[in-house]
Amino acid sequence: MKKIFLVALSIWSASVSGQGIPRDKMDPATTEVWDLKPKKITPGAQPGEAPSDAIILFDGKDLSAWSSAKGGDARWEVKDGAMTIVKGTGDIKTKQAFGDFQLHIEWRAPEKVEGEGQGRGNSGIFLQERYELQVLDSYESATYSNGQAGSIYKQSIPLVNACRKPGEWQAYDVIFTAPRFSENGRVITPAYVTVLHNGVVIQNNTQIIGPSEFKGMPVYQPHGKASIKLQDHGNPVSYRNVWLREL
């Protein structure tokens, strides 16, 4: 779309500034773009359903798109169309690496409420293996605000708390723009993320200031495309209907 806009802009500037034609005498066809067409896709029949150009990362059947973050097979439990963290099996990550993307992912904190704060229904979605979008049971549980569900962990508080009750399925829709680095490793542009939680905007083009750190301030390290990583924080959080579109 950016390309189309630039083409339109160049036509516009040539005809407006170049020739000095008054607007009311202009031909509207000079600012119409016909030869570049967006690819036609079929959207999902329902909100949250994968469109035809999505990469299906988890369809409820198997973990074939995932491996253990430590290497080897992902060992989370697949049952009833969901994958659930098996404590101690470790984080899992997609076999494929991604740059800019749209991600849809559904998650569920355990119905049986155990623990408090960061110990209750904790998992996380690490965008490009580094930038954590927090998954946590924040329905009725106190923790630091920049660590609750929907936060960019320890960086950005969600605009609202759109959590459903533990045991209910919830959705994140994520639009992520990867950071750009120069050849010598400097940040040209940081990462940006927009997140909808159960259809509600909770991060609006939020600037990510670096990789998520438990202690201290983040510092960017240059990297290329990377996986989506899901955190084993020891709680049996489940995921389903995970798909991604590269942008």
Q: Which residues bind Mg ion (CB under 5 A)?
A: 122, 124, 231
In the complex, least distance from residue 55 CB atom to Mg ion, rounded to whole angstroms? 24
Closer by beta carbon to Mg ion, 122 or else 238? 122
Count Cβ atoms below 10 Å from residue 42 Cβ, excluding itself.
9
Paired tokens of 168: 């209910």
Closer by beta carbon to Mg ion, 34 or else 214? 214
In the complex, least distance from residue 111 CB atom to Mg ion, rounded to whole angstroms? 19
In the complex, least distance from residue 24 CB atom to Mg ion, rounded to whole angstroms? 59
Closer by beta carbon to Mg ion, 231 or else 241? 231
Amino acid identity of residue 185, one-letter, is G
Rounded-to-integer distance, Cα 193 and Cα 202, Å: 10
**Which residue of this chain has its Cβ atom nearest to Mg ion in the complex?**
124
Closer by beta carbon to Mg ion, 90 or else 124? 124
In the complex, least distance from residue 126 CB atom to Mg ion, rounded to whole angstroms? 9
Return the beta strands (E) in 15-121 as ranges. Answer: 55-58, 66-68, 77-79, 82-84, 92-94, 101-108
Rounded-to-integer distance, Cα 11 and Cα 239, Å: 48
